[in-house]
Structure 1
Amino acid sequence: MMPERLTFDTPGSTRESESARDRMKSQVTNFFQPPGEPHEGTLDAVLNRVVHASADLALRVSGDGVIEEVFRRGVFESEELDAWVGQPWAETVIPDTREKVGQLLADADRVGMARERQVNHRLPSGREVPVGYKVIAIAPDEGFLAIGTNLQPLSDLQRQLIEAQQALERDYWRLRQVETRYRLLFQRSIEAVLLLEASTFKVLDANRAAGRVFGVPARKLSGSTFPDDAPLDADARDEVRSHLIGVRDRGRSETLTIAFSGGEKWRMEASLIREERDGVLLVHLSDVAPNRVRRDHPRGVDVLRLLQQAPDAYVVTDRSARILIANRAFLQLVQMNSEEDILGQSLGRWLGRPGADLTVLLTNLEKFGEVRLFPTTIYSTLDLESDVEISAVLTEDQEPPCIGITIRNVSRRIGGGEPTTSREVFEALENMTGQIGKVSLKELVQNTVALVEEHFIEAALNLTDGNRTAAAEILGVSRQSLYTKLRRYDVDAPDPS
């Protein structure tokens, strides 16, 4: 049997309200009386002490979920929470958490106590505060005690943690972008650049230009020591080492001219980048004789002049195949008088199948970077037809990207025998000839057409590397018509497009 309920009061918690709330108060006694009053040792007194010791917000709730009494402290003391008395508990929380209130009351009614759940109160001031509630059933038909803890500090901490994580994520990607730009600038620099560990002069990084200066791939410079592993004589190494020590100690840099073993002179400039424990030396090497021909190219070679005089047609175009440079052999092939007449023109103007062949050529260049021995036909301005083979390469490491195209006229080439596929077609036609008199002429013609049609479809697919769209353009049929014929002849062709 439950002990008789005590009446307690929290200082300042009773306020005048509307008549409905007063009637509710007149029916129940004040449960949340400060401890230390009469009836010490009763269950109500124990619960009272628990509330005062642990709760930021506590509610006494009737069996049907109506708030009968409110205890508050801390951030809740300034709120007019007495207005909740007489209201259903579920109506004091935001709609998204009302279901949790019902679950708390149902669990407490079933097993005597409900585990903690978070609900979000909409306070009279308009603030929204998360509260973690545990609900205890006081006694049969005596309602419930909801003991709440303010979760706003935890919510603020979680929000700050999420914001910190997002800031770290943004900083990470910003650093990645900066690193990418640094790597691009570092490797594209025409000056040789070395990054050295300040204490040991060990090479941390080197760009491609530095690799050319030292005559080795740049990646092999990493881990070596400068100047000990450089192609310098002993005196030059001592001079460079003293210079680097001075830069490391004083932080100032002066230009030093050094001579490699091969006699080449380079201007060296170093600067110190300070870090927490140590530092990094940034070393620039620039050629004292900038007009000197690079060692990795033969002296005095004029590549463009050689291409202009080459017997095969050579064209440089932009990425859309508009002509930028053309040699004399190409002008002769297309029967044009001067290079100025064709600059800016599309190469597809002279191709036998302008839409199809050019599409196939550009698609394969974008996909593979190069095309070898691509067969097509060139029609000159005066309609002279020439069978040609095209080899091309796309260079994306320069601005703007360009396509270099070599065109070889094979019209007078002595053939090396019929292709295997052609022989197979002729053999099949010979076999059909033997059916004369056995089947009707109409059936013979239909079978022959089907055989030839299948042969040319397979040839078009091989030419376009399985690209059905380009194959349809080459054959002059719609894509849907080509799909129908592929199914009819059971031709298996992947479509990389």
Structure 2
Amino acid sequence: MRDQDGIQSSGHFKQVSLDNHSEAAAAGRYVTARGTKYWSNGTVPLVAPELLGDVIASAADMAIVITQEGRILSILINESHPEFQRCKKWEGGDLHDYIAADSRPKFARGLSEAIAGKSPPRGIEINHVDGSKFDFPVRYTIHSVGPDGTLLMLGRDLRAVAELQQQLVSVHLELERDYERHRQYDARYRVLMDSSTEPMIFVDLATGNIIDANRSAAEALEADRDSLIGKALTQEFESRSGDNILDEVNAISRSEVRRVIEMSSRRTQKHLFVATTFFRASGERLMLCHLQSSDKDARQQHTLAESLQSMFDAGPEAIVFTDPKGFIQSANPSFLKMSEAASMSAIKQRSLADFLARGSVDLKVLVDNAVRVGQIRMFATQMQSEFGGQVPVEMSVTYLRDHAHPALVFMIRDTSRTSSMRTTRQPGAAGPADNVDSVMELVGSATLKDIVAETTDVVERMCIETAIELTRNNRVAAAEMLGLSRQSLYVKLRKYGMVDKPDAM
């Protein structure tokens, strides 16, 4: 049967007559049988029946033809979605059986509206299920396509959209967790700041402004906390040295050494000592200032700290701080000059053994004895520079065992210009002084040649005794320290009657 537009009804779709289309094209007419232009009043160009299925399959990811009761008459699958081919087995079944329980009410409403000619323009979203392991969301638009009430459902796969939505939900949940963590950190920070009795302020080094202050700092400066925040540091403080306070702060931040600055509060005219700590947060350089009152004890401590700092910076003796294992933590300019190191950063965390001629042998002797007895005095050895040069030195070591972080302090003195011979002797060691006295008594009673020969034996015995004492009778270490083979050391020990002590391995 043909309708007035020349469209023949066959099956569930209206099939278009190619004869009418060809005649219209030949005549140059681009109107429908009703005389209206294509696309107007809901009309479309005539389509060949053998092409209609391909058009529908290409326009939708999946197309389903159903009755008004929901029975599936036919399914067309887009070739770009081969995974949907398993849905072909649905034909002849009830579509309700392949819809998730939570989507059935939506499908029922959409079906009723389509039958009534009120299909939602945006379609309806339905979750399909096919067994326990295959489910997928599809958005359908429902269209009436036959006089018998047949319905065409054109579906668009929503799995990519669903995955994107799931990712957005995951990101949102992660942001919520981050926000909660930041709230916890902020709460802890506020509790610490408000409960601390030590006045503290934070300064942004880029702008020089105060960005936070605790209650104790506001009380010490006799100001409201909110009035301090945002103020320039130079508006609240001035340097006691007369220099620009920001220039002084920036100079200290580059020196890698924590220092105390003496300032005056512009509000109260009180003298304050400010201990500075520098750090980075979110890429910004910040400074934490601990404010201390300049009472008598604080002034004495400050004076002592300044004196020690001046000695460390300008003293002629090389000073090195290491951890208990001998790794350098800090060193003064004299040590950098002696070791020919370019900067502090070039030697920090390196072993001090790298700068000793006998390397780990000397370092082990110094560290072990300093940790055992607390200090070592006037240990003679040689320092080796970065470029291989060697300098004779005397080293004294102090072990700071009661410090919060135990450390070793090395005082190193250059002895290359010393003209007289110096002896290295541990406290309580017996023998060397008596030997020197006996050599002096030979003057006037023996020739110089005999005195020199006797002196050589005395010096040799003193060196062996010192090495044995420093290595706690470890003959292997003592031989290495003296530059002797173990056999040669035993020969000399027998020569001087020093083989009674058992060897400490």
Give the TM-score category using the shorter length. Answer: 0.3 to 0.5
TM-score between the two structures when normalised by the length of structure 2: 0.45
TM-score between the two structures when normalised by the length of structure 1: 0.46
